[in-house]
Amino acid sequence: MTQSNLLQLAQSGDADAIAALMNASLQAIGVSARAVLRNGDLHVLLESERMLAPSPSIEFIRRGITRLGLAWISSTVVYSRLVGQSSPVWVQQVQFNAAALSNPFVLDPGIRLQVAGGEEAPLPPWWTQVSPLTLALLLSVPLVFLLSSSIIWSRYLSGGNPTELASSPQTSSASAKTGVKPDKAAAAKADPVSNAMSFGKQAYLLGKTASSEQDWRKAVEHWRQAIALLQAIPDSHPKAAIAQQKLAEYQGHLDYVLRDRLGASGMELVKTITGSISPKSIVHSGKGLFFAQNMMYSHSITVYDRQYNLLKTISDEVKLSDYGYSQYSGTQHGAPVEADFSPDGQTAWVSNYQMYGAGFSNSADDDCSPEQNHDPSFLYRINTQTLTIERAVQVGAVPKYVATTPNDRYALVSNWCSWDVSVIDTQTNQEVRRIQLGPYPRGIAVDKKSETAYVAVMGSYDIAAINLNNFSVDWLRDMGHSPRHLNLDPAGKYLYATLNGEGQVAKIDVASKTVVSKIATGNAPRSMAISADGQFLYIVNYDSDTVSKVSTSTMQVVKTVSVNSAPIGITYDAETNQVWVACYSGSIQVFQD
């Protein structure tokens, strides 16, 4: 929005536009202004980290109002408040006369609003700065004045709609007589700024009374909804400038909650699980079961519940001939490496790094290519009710990651040494497609609509985007050196990738296929988990023996905890807000967040 359009709104009495013009000058010195109209009076709140001197502040506002030519405003009441305080330091009333314009609110070089240095300049009593008539009114009805001011600002600061505060008595009276409430949905559609401010108000109130992590998470959700509405407002909208101002304000509130209220807390160690395990990964079923894949070192999958009880140790021994592969005689063993679950949690799919036993002779290696003709391996289908292997499905060479689609149509497996992805039909238990990608495909993330599967191709700088309707492949190019593990946020807007070749984590905008930011969390970041609300990433740093908690909003590390050596796998339980960490050295550690 141009300044001339903003001026027109301000001249028409739009309090948000008036505040936006003030902030165009004030924000450079760390002062923010908010304004609301009430019964012909303009109330202005100035907030700052340092104390403001009354006289120059009043002069700044008086000149601006005069230049706008708002002669119909009966008076302007100015409140100065320090950030974080609930009560104003001083309150004064401004008298003004109409005049000419440009941006009306101008900070003259000679005017200092803030008290210099650390000096405590004495403030003249505010009652000496108002007219005798105003003083008499204030002294005669102090309760009414203070109560009405409190109501105005408590509602406005919490994000309330100034238009609602200034609604005409006739409208309220008509509603009371007819019993018909205004159509809020229609009003929100007509004024998305007001709708966003309504969410901001709810977020503020939730934060004001928050007493638990869950309360703060609810507040965050409301801030996010408010921000999303503001971000969707086009530049051509009449209140686009106000939307941008509110967007910055709400983002600041969100960052504060994530950093100071949620980020710094949690991640307390509550349990360490040991035994005959060497977990390469730990994966939650979404229904209270946790599968630890113990590779060829233990030839097993260990299954735990939320009480940390070992429910069963599932041997990786199978007879492939029992599942239709008659070319393999006798018994075979696998090497469980990764797992994923059907949406209902009834089925687990477990990949095996390689197979051992009759019919297998070419041992796997991480340094490999399709020309070396490594043996194919198998994906196990496990019933989570009986905790038994029901099927084995042949896939490519050295399968690593496995992911199921949210519609339960496919299980996808990245084959490290055959440089491709196997697509398994979960109904027929058959591989229906093999998609070539290039050297060392690994992490997989599938969108909620089951339309696109993102695959990290670790021998490159790229991430493949597989169309699950026709299996065509698009690319997100130059995302970073050796992408390894992927997570998609709940909204499907951002993709997160650990970059094995850089030791960083990247945040990627899916729509624009661009890297938004990168962050170093520790030495050798490997696997990640994302919270159910998408607010935090939990990243294992293999060589640092740590786990980092990262705010996805700011892409800053908010907490780092030490774990046992060689953390390699991680999963998140949305119901308990617990983070389970698989340490290759022989343990699983559980943290309460």
* pLDDT, tens digit, 9 for 90 and up, residues 214-247: 888 889 889 888 998 998 899 888 888 888 888 8
Per-residue confidence at 37, pLDDT binned at 50, 70, 90? confident
Distances (CA, A) of 489 to 192, 364, 485, 591: 25, 33, 13, 21
First to last CA, the chain: 43
In-domain check, residue 190: yes
Residue that is last in its domain, among 247, 265, 283: 265
Per-residue confidence at 132, pLDDT binned at 50, 70, 90? low
Token pair of 406, please?
A: 């949210």
Three state DSSP letters for 6-63: HHHHHHCCCHHHHHHHHHHHHHHHCEEEEEEEECCEEEEEEEECCCECHHHHHHHHHH
Statement to judge: residues 375 and 230 lie in one domain: no
How many CB atoms sit inside 10 A of residue 260's CB?
A: 12
Statement to judge: residues 252 and 383 lie in one domain: no
Whether the pLDDT of residue 204 is over 90: the answer is no
Using a pLDDT cut of 70, give the percent of the chain over it.
82
Distances (CA, A) of 88 to 78, 207, 375: 10, 21, 75
**How confident is the prediction for the chain on average, in pLDDT?**
85
CB-based contacts of 287, cutoff 8 Å, min separation 6: 341, 344, 345, 384
Task: Please report which helix (H) or strand (E) contains residue 379, including its range.
Answer: strand 378-383
The torsion angles phi and psi of 504, rounded to 5 degrees, stand at: -130, 170
Under 8 Å between Cβ of 477 and 513: yes
Packing angle between helix 142-157 and helix 132-140, nearest 10 degrees?
90
How far apart are alpha carbons 410 and 304 in whole angstroms?
26
pLDDT of 369-415, one tens digit each?
Answer: 999 999 999 999 999 999 999 999 999 999 999 999 999 999 999 99
Nearest to 582 by CA among 564, 569, 573: 569
Whether the pLDDT of residue 420 is over 90: the answer is yes
pLDDT of 253-293, one tens digit each?
Answer: 888 887 777 766 789 999 999 999 999 999 999 999 999 99
Task: Please report which helix (H) or strand (E) contains residue 301, including its range.
Answer: strand 300-304
Whether the pLDDT of residue 112 is over 80: the answer is no
pLDDT of 442-483, one tens digit each?
Answer: 999 999 999 999 999 999 999 999 999 999 999 999 999 999
Residue that is last in its domain, among 265, 298, 325: 265
Per-residue confidence at 117, pLDDT binned at 50, 70, 90? low
Statement to judge: residues 221 and 294 lie in one domain: no
In-domain check, residue 167: no
Token pair of 115, please?
A: 């008290």
Statement to judge: residues 103 and 206 lie in one domain: no
For residue 192, what pLDDT is reported? 87
Mean pLDDT of 516-532: 96
For residue 103, what pLDDT is reported? 60
Stronger pLDDT, 224 or 338, i.e. the higher one = 338
Per-residue confidence at 342, pLDDT binned at 50, 70, 90? very high
Whether the pLDDT of residue 118 is over 70: the answer is no
CB-based contacts of 229, cutoff 8 Å, min separation 6: 192, 195, 196, 199
For residue 175, what pLDDT is reported? 43
Statement to judge: residues 513 and 410 lie in one domain: yes
Q: What does DSSP say about strands 75-82 and 41-48: parallel, antiparallel, or unpaired?
A: parallel
Classify burial at 234, counting beta carbons within 10 Å of its beta carbon; exposed 0-12, middle 13-18, buried 19 or more: exposed
Q: What is the pTM of this model?
A: 0.65
Per-residue confidence at 82, pLDDT binned at 50, 70, 90? confident
Statement to judge: residues 194 and 276 lie in one domain: no
In-domain check, residue 108: yes
How far apart are alpha carbons 378 and 387 in whole angstroms?
18
The torsion angles phi and psi of 297, rounded to 5 degrees, stand at: -75, -25
Domains identified in the chain, total number: 3
Q: Which range has the worst mean pLDDT, 210-214, 235-239, 438-442, 488-492?
A: 210-214
How many CB atoms sit inside 10 A of residue 49's CB?
A: 10
In-domain check, residue 499: yes
CATH of the domain at 574: 2.130.10.10
How many CB atoms sit inside 10 A of residue 490's CB?
A: 13
For residue 529, what pLDDT is reported? 98
How far apart are alpha carbons 293 and 197 in whole angstroms?
48
For residue 387, what pLDDT is reported? 98
Mean pLDDT of 328-332: 95
Statement to judge: residues 285 and 394 lie in one domain: yes
Under 8 Å between Cβ of 104 and 64: yes
Which of the residue ranges 62-71, 149-158, 160-169, 351-360 has the most confident prediction, judged by mean pLDDT? 351-360
For residue 393, what pLDDT is reported? 98
In-domain check, residue 574: yes
How far apart are alpha carbons 102 and 51 in whole angstroms?
28
How far apart are alpha carbons 481 and 462 in whole angstroms?
8
Statement to judge: residues 143 and 195 lie in one domain: no
For residue 423, what pLDDT is reported? 98
In-domain check, residue 177: no
Whether the pLDDT of residue 580 is over 90: the answer is yes
How far apart are alpha carbons 461 and 484 in whole angstroms?
10
Whether the pLDDT of residue 509 is over 80: the answer is yes
| Ramachandran area for residue 39 (φ above 0: left; ψ -120 to 50: alpha; else beta) | left
- Give residue 65's domain range: 1-156
Give the alpha-carbon dihedral of 352, 356, 361, 366, to 10 degrees.
30
How far apart are alpha carbons 309 and 275 in whole angstroms?
12
Statement to judge: residues 282 and 375 lie in one domain: yes
Whether the pLDDT of residue 126 is over 80: the answer is no
How far apart are alpha carbons 80 and 94 in whole angstroms?
13
Statement to judge: residues 345 and 489 lie in one domain: yes
pLDDT of 54-75, one tens digit each?
Answer: 888 888 888 888 888 776 777 7
Whether the pLDDT of residue 145 is over 50: the answer is no
Whether the pLDDT of residue 49 is over 50: the answer is yes
How far apart are alpha carbons 502 and 481 in whole angstroms?
6
Token pair of 103, please?
A: 């941006």
Statement to judge: residues 150 and 209 lie in one domain: no
Per-residue confidence at 169, pLDDT binned at 50, 70, 90? very low
Statement to judge: residues 134 and 146 lie in one domain: yes
How far apart are alpha carbons 540 and 582 in whole angstroms?
9
CB-based contacts of 82, cutoff 8 Å, min separation 6: 47, 48, 49, 50, 51, 89
